[in-house]
């Protein structure tokens, strides 16, 4: 693994920005295709706004739960989100997004702060873990999540990943069109 200190801050910034965008879009698309994530999202209140960012004003994504219990990305939020997961430093986000540290380990190492109801933060982390388990190769997913799902068959993984990646790609094309 490349040492976090040997990677230039400009590269970390660009990489974390890209990953934050991919994760935000991936989470939204996974909420449309994965039943387990749909069940988790359905437990958030309608119009619930969640965000993930890097302190103080680094890369971020903001999503909202719609009336039909889907997630949609927002370009900004007029009000304070109901739940915000904040990385305390860009290098901390880089550790997580480059699979050198899992989200659970980052929380344990006090690299992230959850501002909002802890039960909703746990629910969001479960959604992120499932999405990462689906879209990442197993070897990377095992580094990214606390516990890789034992019930995830190769067929389910490939089908889920293909559906999510297709929808993420479509979301980029829609934005540029």
Contact criterion met (CB below 8 Å) for 87 and 55 = yes
What SS3 class is residue 73?
Answer: strand
Which pLDDT score, from 0 to 100, does residue 83 have? 97
Which pLDDT score, from 0 to 100, does residue 5 have? 62
Q: Which two tokens stand for residue 36?
A: 């387990």
pLDDT class for 37, splitting at 50, 70, 90? very high
User: Residue 60, by phi and psi: left (phi above 0), alpha (psi -120 to 50) or beta?
Assistant: beta
Can you tell me the distance from the alpha carbon of 135 to that of 33, in angstroms, rounded to the nearest whole number?
A: 12
Give the DSSP per-residue string, 99-141.
Answer: TSS-HHHHHHTT-EEEES-HHHHHHHHHHHHHHHHHHS-HHHH
Which pLDDT score, from 0 to 100, does residue 136 have? 85
Which pLDDT score, from 0 to 100, does residue 176 have? 57
* Tens-place pLDDT, residues 67-103: 999 999 998 877 899 999 999 999 999 999 998 888 8
Instruction: Count the alpha carbons within 13 Å of 78 in the hemisphere toward its beta carbon.
Output: 1
* Tens-place pLDDT, residues 132-177: 888 888 888 887 887 888 888 888 888 888 888 888 888 878 765 5
């Amino acid at each position: 693994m490349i040492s976090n200190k040997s990677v230039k801050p400009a590269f970390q910034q660009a990489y974390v920005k890209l990953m934050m965008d991919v994760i935000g879009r991936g989470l939204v698309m996974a909420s449309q295709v994965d039943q387990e994530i749909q069940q988790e999202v359905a437990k958030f209140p309608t119009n619930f706004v969640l965000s993930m960012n890097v302190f103080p004003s680094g890369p971020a994504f903001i999503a909202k739960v719609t009336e039909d219990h889907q997630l949609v990305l927002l370009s900004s939020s007029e009000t304070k989100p109901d739940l915000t997961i904040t990385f305390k430093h860009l290098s901390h986000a880089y550790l997580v997004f480059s699979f050198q540290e899992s989200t659970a380990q980052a929380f344990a190492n006090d690299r992230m702060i959850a501002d909002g109801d802890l039960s909703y933060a746990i629910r969001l982390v479960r959604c992120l873990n499932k999405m990462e388990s689906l879209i990442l190769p197993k070897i990377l997913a095992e580094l990214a999540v606390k516990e890789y799902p034992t019930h995830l068959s190769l067929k389910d993984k490939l089908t889920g990943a293909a559906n999510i990646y297709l929808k993420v790609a479509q979301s980029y094309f829609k934005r540029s069109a």
